[in-house]
Structures are given as C-alpha cells and as structure tokens.
Amino acid sequence: MSGLCKVVVVDDEMLIRQGVINYIDWEKVGFQMVGEASNGNEALQLIDELRPHLVITDVVMPGMDGIELVRVVKEQYPDIEIVVLSSFENFEYVRSTFQCGAADYILKPKLNGDELIKKLRKVMPESRRAEEVIQSAPSIEVVLQKCLIGSSLTISEEKLLEDFSYSHYSLIAGCGRGSKKEFFKEVSGLFEEQLFACETFFIPVNESDINTVLVNFNGEEQLQSVKQCVTRMAEADRECRTIWLMSVPFSSILELKTIYEDHLLNMKDYLFYLTEEQVLIYDDLPEVPEVGKPFDLGRFLGLFKQKKFEFAITSLTEHVDVLMRQYTKDIFEFKSWLENIMFNVIVLLDNMNYDVHELETMKYKYFSEINEASHAKKAVAVFHTFVDEVRRIVQVEDNKNCPPDLKRLLQFIENHYAEPLSLTTLSESFHFNPSYLSSYFSTHLNIGFSDYLNQVRIVKAKQILETSSVSVSMVSEMVGYSDPSYFCKVFKQMEGSSPGSYRKPAPILN
C-alpha cells in the first residue's frame, strides 16, 4: 500500500465513472481508486471522509457542478490536485476551473486509460507521491468500499479482511440522514453500549440518501440483540424520520457486495411502497398480498370500446390498489405499467372520436411526475388525476350525445337495480314498446339491457363485498338477484372469480 496515491472520480454519467474505475489497473500504475460520486455535493462528503490526493471531475453536473467543486476543494484542501473532464462545447467552463485551482484537464472524446494516467502522473509525479502519500496500513473503511465496488484487493488488504473479531456480519442502514459521520457515531455508540462483543465499521457508499454501517458480531447468540438495537434506534429517531434497515446476516465478508446490492438496496426500494414504515428488518417484513390474476389489458380496452367506462375504470383502480401493496415489485416496472395504461387509454379515446386534446397536452407532464415520484402514493395520485380527467371528457361528450329519454332510463336503472327489473317493467314505466325499448337501448349503448343491468348490479355487489361481511347469498339479494347460484355464475363470468374469492381480507392493523 506504501506510495499509492488515492483517487476519487466525480461524474454524473455512471458509464464514465465505471469506465474510469474499471479500465485501469490503478495499483499497478501507482494509484488507488478509493471512491466515486455523481455530483459535487456527494464528492465533498467523500473527500472529507477519504482525504484523497487526486480528484477527477466532470464540469457540468446537477447540483454542485465541477467549477464550484474545484473552488471549494481548493479552499478547504489546497493540497488535493484536481483534473477536469470536459467535452469540446464546455471548454469555456474549463477556463473557470483553472482560475479556481484545477491542475489540468482532459477532453472526454480523448479519454482513455493511457491518456488519463499520463495526465495524473504529470500532476502528481512519483517524487511528489513519495513525499505526500502517507506510509500506513490500508484503512478498513477504504477496503470495505473497494469490496462494494468490486475492485481487486492487494495482498495486504485481503489480509486485513481476515482480522475481524467475530463470526457474523450484518449491514445497518439509515435512509434520509444527511450527516454520515453523525449516523456512524450514533450507531456505533449504541452498539458499543448495548452489546458486549461487537464491532462497527463505517462504509462509504455512493448513494447520497443512505448511510451504511457494517456490524460484526458473535453469530446466532447475538443476532436477536442486534435486531433489538436497530428497533431501539428507530423508536428513538421518529422525529428525524430516518428509515432504518437491517440486512440478512452473513458469515463471510466476501459476501458484502452481494448482500449490499441484492438485499440492502432492495429493502431500500421497498420504501417506495412502504411509506409508513420506520424500520425494516430482513425477517420481519410486511406480508406481500397475492396479486391474483394478471390485469387483462385486452378486456379493459374492450370495455372502453363498449363505453362501459365506469366498469372498466373501477376494475383498473382496484388492480392499481393491489399493485401498490406489492412492495417487492420493481419500481420502474410499476411506473411504466401506469404510463402504458394511460397511453393506451388516450389512443383508444382518440380513435373513438373523443376530444383528447387536453390529455395529449398533459400526458408528458403526467409521465414526468410519475417518473419523478419518490413513492407509490405520489405516482398513483397522478394516475388518479388522469383517470378523473378521462371521466370528465367521457361524461361531457356522452352528455352531448345522450338523448333525454336514455338519461332517464339509466337513472331509473341506477335507482331500482335491486328490484325485479325487465324490459317489460321498464316499458310500463316509460310507456315504450318492449321490443322498441330493447332496440333503443342497444343502439345508444352498444350493449343489451340484460348485460347492462348485470354490469350495474355486479359493480354494486363488489362494493358491498369490499366494505361489509354479509353473506354472499345476502349480497345476491341486496343487488337484485333472487337466485344466489345465478348471481355467482354472473359474477364469475364478469370478474373471473367467485364472490367469496373476490372478497378482500380485512386489513391487518399494526
């Protein structure tokens, strides 16, 4: 480790960072890549923790850009050298970084391993490295970070990983805490106070909204105590709104990268859905409800074509409600599903000659808000705004074209659906011939009277099943079916499941 110059790379493009990190054998050429950041704010935290000798930074980045980063770093750490990455069109920005103290620059189109090493050796020649690089054993925090990003380890670093005191490990993370040092101080202090045999190690990670600590403890006998410590920290930290995570325990430090990426970060993603949770512990996660059958997009669009809008929208919103509780579902997939439904609805309504100009104007705003939503409730709120607008457009258009007699017919059915209704009873009430009434109904609604009445009754039945515990036979009677078996048959044809299977279990109160 002696004589290696520590380097941090800063760029908002992950591919650029990974290229710089992975396509150079850093230690072979006398340097050590110790960290990466996606903007200036993240970089300052890493620089404060790792104290590198060299920083490689992009100029144009969100948040704190490269110009401001160079200025702040040279003010606070004047001995750190900075090499700037730039494209041709941003070269004027590079001039500003030189005024702030940058040592050199390299154009991104010319960026390759040999060119970069040549620049770094020019900025930090071997004679200077020999003077400035601290001659010390590798830091365990730096080695752990190298494990996380998949960098190869030196023999001395591998040896360091063999010196942990206890047999088991777990990752403890806090989401939403700003100060990484304060977080580590809090966690390590509580663990040292509560557990007689454990050690804690801070792990610098690239995600700005998650702070991570490795806890090394004595196997199964202390596992329950570790969980209790995490729970106590969550209870004591309610006002700060930190969300606490505890990963599955593991027995080999070589599993660190896998546990972090495939377990801890997955738990962090669960918080997109589980907005009310204060702490997530690997073996005490909420139950994931069953989805049931997949959403039938073809059937949904078919209902729209038949102008069964409310029936279609009700089935859609019910499915969205179930998806929101499927917290293991990929976040990108969930958002894309919402956007795909919205896109299909707009296209279909346009083909049906509805005025979708406002929806077309607003759709990219809707998509943007869904993509930027920090949790599922925000994304679904945007989706419901879209659905409400669809309802308004359909209602306005249909009210224009709906004859007064048909409006009175539909209102009559809405008011009397639980009574024995037929074309004969309707014709008596409205003084129409039954045959004419049947034809009149089908012409204006593209659906027969019996099918329409079943649609209204089944929607009402679903509402009762969802909000009460009355028997299926009683529900049948309440919505106008004298024969429960016929009610069950109609319900299954329309919903794909029996009324009993459809009824949702009562929510579990925490």
Encoding tokens for residue 304?
């729209």
Rounded-to-integer distance, Cα 482 and Cα 487, Å: 8
Q: CA-based Rg of the chain, rounded to a whole angstrom?
A: 32
353 and 269 in one domain?
Answer: no
Residues 68 and 50 in one domain: yes
pLDDT, one tens digit per residue, over 48-82 is: 888 889 999 998 888 888 889 999 999 888 889 99
73 & 130 share domain: yes
Domain boundary among 117, 136, 155: 136
pLDDT, position 396: 63
Residues lower than pLDDT 50 in the chain: 1-2, 134-136, 505-510
Q: Given 112, 136, 160, which residue is the final one in a domain?
A: 136
100 and 163 in a single domain? The answer is: no
Q: Is the dihedral of CA 195, 201, 207, 209 positive or negative?
A: positive
Domain for residue 509, yes or no? no
Q: How far apart are CA 317 and CA 383, in angstroms?
A: 9
Nearest alpha-carbon partner for 472 in 507, 508, 502, 505? 502
Task: Give kind and range of the element (H or E) at residue 213.
Answer: strand 210-217
Residue 91 falls within a domain, yes or no?
A: yes
Residues 23, 110 within the same domain: yes
Same domain, 74 and 102: yes
Q: What is the pLDDT of residues 135-154, one digit of tens each?
A: 445 678 878 888 887 777 77
73 and 193, same domain (yes or no): no
Quick one: pLDDT at residue 303?
84
The predicted-structure confidence for 337-347, as pLDDT tens digits, reads as follows 999 999 999 99
Closest to 198 measured CA to CA, from 171, 240, 169: 169
Which residues are CB-contacts of 174 (< 8 A; sequence separation ≥ 6)?
A: 183, 187, 210, 211, 242, 243, 244, 245
Cα 47 off chain centre by: 28
Indicate which CATH number applies to the domain containing 30: 3.40.50.2300
pLDDT 10s digits, 203-219: 877 666 788 899 999 88
Output the CA–CA distances (angstroms, integers) from residue 10 to 108, 265, 357, in the order listed.
13, 22, 43
For CA atoms 277, 282, 287, 292, give the dihedral sign: positive
Q: Which pLDDT score, from 0 to 100, does residue 400 have?
A: 58
Question: SS3 of 170, please?
Answer: strand
What's the pLDDT at 481?
93
Residues 377 and 470 in one domain: no
Per-residue pLDDT, 305: 83
Assess if residue 261 is contained within a domain.
Answer: yes
- Within-domain flag for 290: no
Task: Dihedral sign for Cα 451, 457, 458, 460, please.
Answer: positive
The per-residue pLDDT for 375 is 92
Strand partners, 175: 210, 243
pLDDT of res. 333: 94
Determine the pLDDT at residue 135.
44
List strand residue ranges (DSSP E) for 70-167, in order.
81-86, 104-107
Q: Report the distance separating Cα 71 and Cα 80, nearest Å.
A: 12
Q: Specify if 10 maps to a domain.
A: yes
Q: Specify whether the CB–CB gap between 217 and 170 falls below 8 A.
A: yes
- pLDDT of amino acid 505: 47
Residues 324 and 363 in one domain: yes
Residue that is last in its domain, among 85, 106, 136 = 136
Q: What share of the chain in percent tops pLDDT 90?
A: 28
Residue 288, domain member (yes or no)? no
| Number of domains the chain is built from | 4
Q: Are residues 391 and 412 in the same domain?
A: no
Residue 372's pLDDT is: 92
CATH of the domain at 247: 3.30.70.100
394 and 408 within one domain: no
Kindly state the tokens that stand for 124: 């930090």
Report the alpha-carbon distance of residue 166 to residue 381 in Å, rounded: 48
Q: 367-416 pLDDT, tens per residue?
A: 999 999 999 999 999 998 999 888 888 876 655 556 777 778 878 888 88
CATH number at residue 433: 1.10.10.60
Residue-range definition of the domain harbouring residue 164: 143-281
